[in-house]
Amino acid sequence: MSGPAIITPETRRLIDTPMKVGESPTWDDGTGDLWFVDILAPAAMCLRSGGRIDRYDMPAAIGCLALCESGDVAVALQSGVHILDPKTGSLKLLCDPDSGRPDSRLNDGKVGPDGHFWVGTRDEAVPQTGNARLYRVSPDGTFSCVADGLKTSNGLAWSPDGRRMYHSDSTWQFLQAFDFDPATGAIGEALKLRDFTSEEGRPDGGATDAECFYWSAGVSAGCLNRLSPEGEIIEIYKLPVSAPTMPCFGGPDLKTLYVTSLESDRSGRLQAGTLLAFEAPVAGTPVHRFAL
């Protein structure tokens, strides 16, 4: 049986400012803006459609962000989920699902088809103890823990019909899927789709396309892996950065792939984190907005 197709896309770098840990690229289909974060700066940033970059410095490490229906932006900080007003830069605390637990911070997150903000945590203990969780945050600030016993919750994405949720653990290096009810946010039992090797690419952030395939940032292998719904890697997109962290689809036809990366010397020279783009062979699945 033949292996996955290996593809080297023609990429372009979109920013000159170096990042420590670029993450959470998020396309705004209403404005043509692209939001992303630098976890350790810590800052939320927006690449405006006209090319200007707006920077919003944060008071604590920022794991991810999500667009709200109101035009505000939900930001997941180590100190909780806050609502950012992009016009003023002001922050308002919505809730703190992690409740200040030691050796923990909010990490990857995305809004689901249910209009709720799903946010995972990273176990910051050395060595890691398995204290990471996945939370479901409601627009009214209430929240629930839907999974625990993790090390680095990551890779959230939903199928085009909203009836399947993907989730990975970057430290355990597996990808799993859950049946998902778009109306209630209820999930079924976890189905493990794949255990990754570091050579294949430790699974970081993820996105889904219109053909029901899942794209995983192989942060240890300098690539994006495109996986079938059964968990088979069918295409490997080799990138000019050694540590890509998360893909997202954008552009007017959702056929531009944006990819963040983190600072790394894995290639033998120090590479700063950056933001790349390339044209994808298929359109992506639109990301939902927080119902707030």
The answer to the question of whether 279 is labelled as a binding residue is no
Tokens of 117: 């903000």
Which strands form 104-111's sheet, in the order they lie side by side?
104-111, 117-123, 132-137, 143-150
Residue type, 271: Q
Q: Are 50 and 12 in contact (CB under 8 A)?
A: no
Alpha carbon distance, N-terminus to C-terminus of the chain: 49
Tell me if residue 140 is catalytic.
Answer: no
For residue 193, what are the CA distances in angstroms to 10, 172, 181, 229? 30, 13, 19, 8
Q: Which residue has the tokens 């209430």?
A: 142
Residue type, 67: L
The answer to the question of whether 289 is labelled as a binding residue is no
Q: Give me the DSSP letters along 226-247.
A: EE-TTS-EEEEEE-SSS-EEEE
Q: Give me the DSSP letters along 145-197.
A: EEEEEESBEEEEEE-TTS-EEEEEETTTTEEEEEEB-TTT--B---EEEEEPP
**Which one from 204, 209, 253, 265 is the annotated catalytic residue?**
204
The answer to the question of whether 107 is labelled as a binding residue is yes
**Binding-site sequence positions for a divalent metal cation:** 23, 154, 204
Catalytic residues, by residue number, are 204
**Binding-site sequence positions:** 23, 105, 107, 154, 204
**Binding-site sequence positions for substrate:** 105, 107
